[in-house]
Amino acid sequence: MSAPFRNDRLEAFHFPPGMQVFERGWLSSNCVLFEDEAGATLIDSGYVTHADQTMALVLHAIEGHATPRLRRVINTHLHSDHCGGNALLARRTRCDIVIPEGNSYGVRHWDQRFLTFVATGQHCDRFDFTDTISAGDVLTLGGQEWEALAAPGHDVDSVMFHCEDEGILISGDAIWEDGCGAMFPTANPKTLDEDFSAAFETLQLVEAIDVRVIVPGHGRPFTDVEGALDRVRSRLRRMSADHSWNGRHVVKVLLKYRLLDDRRMSVETVRTMFREVPTIAYANRDIGLPPSVLADRTMDDLVRVGAARRDGDWLLDA
């Protein structure tokens, strides 16, 4: 059903029948589709501006099958690049929306104190949920048992999905082949250290369970779990030891993300963003620069690494 991929040792790994991975480009997370007699389940739904594409991918994948119906969407966590298709998919297909238990209050009331969209300057269409998922819940996906595991760190409420029989882990942003999701400071300066501790514990959990292949939230699936654990740990160690380095990484991620969305931003818009987006202000607690200076330096940083281009008073995506 899904194309085999080659891992670093050049052995082909086949996902079980009924499981299909859509590796997406940036702005959208990867999506994983499971099909069984009960209908299809989609893990994560990408970014809002790609929602039509997500819808098309799902419909194309399930058409002609025995039960060509999207039954539910389940989110690993509620960052805008993982749940941006929820609203459209629910509206068009009437599928269930299943979110991590910890996000239920925030979504029910669409309360931005508990959701990250406004804090990070990103967008997500409002959606409702029909059910929640908690660590320890066991789901049948594509005819196999998958257990939800808590994955706090990058996001305190996030979950991963593990199929012990197949040795597959859907890891969200807890671990990628070469890193993990950014560690965002919040209004409470104490949470960052707690989040780092939780992130290390989540990696310990990944190490303790039987995982032969990881399907990350971004990038290709991979089998070198040990190597990825080493790389993520050394990255997290560096970020946790130096919050200012972490903060500079966070603001670069947020600016690049916005640039992917907008394609081009005037320098003035970037400076306004750096004055107004709360997470940038939180990160700047550890950096300590005037917002406009931080904006200018971050633009220079992106240009230096080839992630952006400067054209007069404009910053362009690259």
Residues whose CB is less than 8 angstroms from the CB of residue 97 and which lie 6 or more positions away in sequence, other chains included: 72, 73, 75, 86, 89, 90, 127, 128, 129, 130, 131
CB of 314 to Zn ion, least distance (A): 28
154 or 271: whose CB is closer to Zn ion? 154
173 in contact with Zn ion (CB under 5 A): yes
DSSP-assigned letter for residue 181: -
In 215-233, which positions are buried (b, 16+ CB within 10 angstroms) versus exposed (e)?
bbbbbebbbebeebbebbb
Place of tokens 């620069």: 289
247 in contact with Zn ion (CB under 5 A): no
Stretch that binds Zn ion, among 20-28, 77-85, 122-130, 193-201 (CB under 5 A): 77-85
Residues whose CB is less than 8 angstroms from the CB of residue 239 and which lie 6 or more positions away in sequence, other chains included: 183, 196, 245, 246, 249
Number of residues that bind Zn ion (CB under 5 A): 3
Stretch that binds Zn ion, among 98-106, 172-180, 233-241, 289-297 (CB under 5 A): 172-180
Rounded Cα gap, residues 126 and 298, in angstroms: 30
CB of 165 to Zn ion, least distance (A): 27
Stretch that binds Zn ion, among 14-22, 76-84, 108-116, 184-192 (CB under 5 A): 76-84
115 or 299: whose CB is closer to Zn ion? 115
Contact 215, 30 (CB under 8 A): yes
CB of 76 to Zn ion, least distance (A): 8
256 in contact with Zn ion (CB under 5 A): no
Rounded Cα gap, residues 88 and 179, in angstroms: 30
84 or 181: whose CB is closer to Zn ion? 181
Contact 217, 78 (CB under 8 A): no
CB of 23 to Zn ion, least distance (A): 16
156 or 205: whose CB is closer to Zn ion? 156
Strand 19-22, strand 31-36: pairing:
antiparallel
218 in contact with Zn ion (CB under 5 A): no
85 in contact with Zn ion (CB under 5 A): no
44 in contact with Zn ion (CB under 5 A): no
Contact 151, 172 (CB under 8 A): yes
Amino acid letter, residue 184: F
181 in contact with Zn ion (CB under 5 A): yes
153 in contact with Zn ion (CB under 5 A): no
Contact 127, 99 (CB under 8 A): no
CB of 183 to Zn ion, least distance (A): 10
Could you say which of 79, 162, 218, 252 contacts Zn ion (CB under 5 A)?
79
- For the beta sheet containing 144-150, the strands, ordered from the edge strand earlier in sequence to the opposite edge, are 138-141, 144-150, 159-163, 168-172, 213-216
Is the backbone of residue 122 left (phi > 0), alpha (psi -120 to 50) or beta? Answer: beta
157 in contact with Zn ion (CB under 5 A): no
Which residue of this chain has its Cβ atom nearest to Zn ion in the complex? Answer: 79
CB of 187 to Zn ion, least distance (A): 18
Stretch that binds Zn ion, among 32-40, 178-186, 206-214, 250-258 (CB under 5 A): 178-186
35 or 173: whose CB is closer to Zn ion? 173
243 in contact with Zn ion (CB under 5 A): no
Rounded Cα gap, residues 123 and 87, in angstroms: 12
- Residue ranges in contact with Zn ion by CB under 5 A: 79, 173, 181
